[in-house]
Amino acid sequence: MKKVIITALVHENLIHQLQQKGFETSYFPKIAYEELSNLVEDAEGIIVTARLHIDQQLIEKAKKLKWIGRLGSGMELIDVAFAEKKGIICVSTPEGNSNAVGEHALGMLLSLMNKITSAHKQIEKGEWIRNKNRGIELSGKTVGIIGLGNTGSAFARLLKPFRVTVLAYDKYKAGFENEFIRESSFEQICETADVISLHVPLTTETKFMANESFFNSLKKNPFLINTSRGKVVILNELLVAVEKNQIAGAALDVLENENLSSYSAEENKTLQSLLQKPNVVITPHIAGYSQEAFYKMGTVLLEKLKL
């Protein structure tokens, strides 16, 4: 029987569908790299998320491997070039959770602009403060989207009712301007946007893209949203930008280091300082993890693999 190793939590429907198609499913949602390496020799397929490295060494051990399925977007943890040289199909499923990411980004932005989270914390302490908690309306603002793939496009669609100006920059796309989205440059977004939302994959070009130089280039004190990858933003330099009022606030669903138990004293100090800022919202990499996306990612994976 054909074997598939599932290395992450998945909707039960995906397991059921694979079994219906004749696969033996080995479900190890917390499996470590070393354990996986010992099991892959007879696997035809591997299903992963953003946790394990599927590197050349592991692929070499998987003698029967035909495909690697990534639930979600971003293939930086998979050696796609090496896998494809060996005839292994690699697919991701950003279509399955792009709407979830867009909604989460919008939700965090509205929370920041209307001071919802910080006001809630004040009430928990018995403080009822109105005047200092006046919100800022999104309507009429300029929103810059960096990276117009599945999630960036989903975020743009959700902005339509707010009557905003949407500027979008994507290094690998052109000619996408329409009645709602204006094609822009990276520099123009930094100079004119009231909100900047990052929707880029993690590559050598985007790693630490939001650094001191980036924050120094901002002209309008924008809100910054990152629902892409943590290493796109240098966290301690973001903290400096918040403290210098170079940005109006930050909404982060991802961090440079998401293993909080491994933090150094310096990393922990930076994170705690950000968490204490009233204009910072941080969530634990859940933007693309809605109930609906949990189901849809598996469905999209099966459709793409044509199993």
pLDDT in tens, 147-173: 999 999 999 999 999 999 999 999 999
CATH architecture of 2-92: 3-Layer(aba) Sandwich (3.40)
Q: How far is CA 266 from the centre of its chain?
A: 24
Please state, in angstroms and as integers, the Cα–Cα distance from residue 91 to each residue in 45, 196, 266, following that order.
11, 29, 37
Same fold, 2-92 and 96-282: yes
pLDDT at 252 over 90: yes
Q: Which of 84, 177, 187, 258 is catalytic?
A: 258
> How does DSSP assign 69-127, residue by residue?
EESSS--TTB-HHHHHHTT-EEEE-HHHHHHHHHHHHHHHHHHHHTTHHHHHHHHHTT-
Residue 258 among the catalytic residues: yes
Q: Return the domain boundaries, the chain.
A: 2-92, 96-282
pLDDT at 50: 87
List, for residues 104-153, the tens digit of each pLDDT value: 999 999 999 999 999 999 999 999 999 999 999 999 999 999 999 999 99
Q: Which of 104, 199, 229, 237 is catalytic?
A: 229
Residue 182 among the catalytic residues: no
Q: Which of 53, 157, 182, 285 is catalytic?
A: 285
pTM for the model: 0.94
CATH of 96-282, one of 1.20.1260.10, 3.30.310.50, 3.30.70.580, 3.40.50.720: 3.40.50.720
Residue 134 among the catalytic residues: no
